[in-house]
Amino acid sequence: MCHCLACQRRTGSVFAAQARWPTEQVTVVGEVKEWTRIGDDGGKITQRFCPTCGATVYFTIDTFPDVVAVPLGAFADPSFPAPTFSVYEARKHAWVRAPEAAEHMD
DSSP 29-44: -S--EEEEEE-TTS-E
73-91 pLDDT, tens per residue? 888 888 988 888 777 777 7
Give the predicted TM-score (pTM) of the model.
0.77
For the chain, residues with pLDDT lower than 50 are 1-3
Report the candidate in 62, 104, 75, 73 with the shortest Cα–Cα distance to residue 87.
104
